Amino acid sequence: MAESDWTFDGGQARPSGVERVVNVQLSTVYGDFLAVGYLDRNRGDEQMALIYGVTEGDIGHSDIGDGGIGDGDIGDGDIGGGDIGGGDIGGGELVQGGPCDGVGGDGMLTRVHSECLTGDAFGSKHCECGEQLSAALHAIASEGRGVLLYLRGHEGRGIGLLGKLRAMKLQQEGLDTVEANLALGFPADARDYEVAADILHDLGVRSVRLLSNNPRKSEALMRHGIKVTEQVPLLTPPRPENITYLRTKRERLDHHLPHLDRGPDRDPELAMDLHGAADWS
């Protein structure tokens, strides 16, 4: 088994749960990213990492080689020590054909984003997912380097699209987001982040500055061998439609959302976003 087929949790080697399948340049409104496609060997889900600062032309092949971005030879050069596509990845010069130190090595600005069809694609006002996705991509592009993992299979905190829609209906009837999941027989949060850690290991990312308000996400990554050097807040203005949802995330799921304590009387921008909502107390 090749070295890239293994990952390390707490110093213990185990077979990697992901297979890197393809990479392709992806131009977006936020900038040009390299999209790297993975197959989750355990669940069968198709996953994607978006890497800022690397182009397909810099890598040279649609297949990223035996050793992966983190540990092997990539096309004619490596990432991790090089100046690639105008973005500094590691601070050195591009070395032709040498070992690769990783996409970012240590302290890579990273977003681990759980898929949310209603928020990401349709702009739902009942969550902040779409706004967080956009803000994270902006932040990574502004940083000049970074990684966003878009995790399939995480819809509705892991209960699936139909489960989420059923939970939303219960929330309309008065339950909060945790109570709705439990009433349907689901955990409050059914997500697992092992696949995210496996992808980061494959990319050679040893530690991250994590764009997240969720300390449980940081803890999960650390359990799987990814060091979190900083949790970078990703706060979005609340809306009348999601203020109760956000408060539940803070009070019952331990999300760090200090901006919810600021009412519109103390924050004119929030007052504009809330359109005079009376749900602040």
Q: Within a 10 A sphere around the Cβ of 135, how many other Cβ atoms?
A: 16
Asked whether residue 210 is assigned to any structural domain, the reply reads yes
Asked whether residue 175 is assigned to any structural domain, the reply reads no
- Is pLDDT above 90 for 112? yes
Q: Within a 10 A sphere around the Cβ of 281, how many other Cβ atoms?
A: 5
Same structural domain, 149 and 252: no
Question: Which of 219, 236, 253 delimits the end of a domain?
Answer: 236
Question: Which of 236, 252, 269 delimits the end of a domain?
Answer: 236
Asked whether residue 220 is assigned to any structural domain, the reply reads yes
Concatenate the DSSP letters of all residues of 95-129 into one string. Answer: -BT-----SS-SSEEEEEEE--IIIIIT--SSSSH
Same structural domain, 224 and 257: no
Q: 23-34, pLDDT tens digit by residue?
A: 999 999 999 999
pLDDT score, position 16: 80
Same structural domain, 232 and 246: no
pLDDT score, position 57: 54
Same structural domain, 228 and 247: no
Is 169 marked as binding a ligand? no
Give the mean pLDDT of 49-53.
94
Give the mean pLDDT of 76-84.
37
Asked whether residue 162 is assigned to any structural domain, the reply reads no
Same structural domain, 129 and 258: no
Annotated catalytic residue within 78, 101, 189, 198? 189
189 is annotated as an active-site residue: yes
Annotated catalytic residue within 20, 145, 166, 191? 191
Same structural domain, 262 and 201: no
Same structural domain, 107 and 142: yes
Is 47 marked as binding a ligand? no
Q: 270-280, pLDDT tens digit by residue?
A: 443 433 333 33
Same structural domain, 119 and 150: yes
pLDDT score, position 226: 96
Is 100 marked as binding a ligand? no
108 - beta bridge partners? Answer: 208
Q: How confident is the model at residue 261 (pLDDT cuts 50, 70, 90)?
A: confident
- Is pLDDT above 70 for 252? yes
- Structural domain including 144 reads 3-154+191-236
Quote the number of domains for the chain: 2
Is 218 marked as binding a ligand? no
- Is pLDDT above 80 for 84? no
H-run or E-run covering 200 = helix 194-203
Same structural domain, 35 and 140: yes
In sequence order, the 6+-apart residues with CB closer than 8 A to the CB of 193 are 112, 151, 217, 220, 221, 224
Same structural domain, 224 and 259: no
Asked whether residue 13 is assigned to any structural domain, the reply reads yes
Angle between helix axes 194-203 and 215-223 (nearest 10 degrees) is 60
Same structural domain, 250 and 141: no
**Domain containing 114 — which CATH number?**
3.40.50.10990
Is 156 marked as binding a ligand? yes
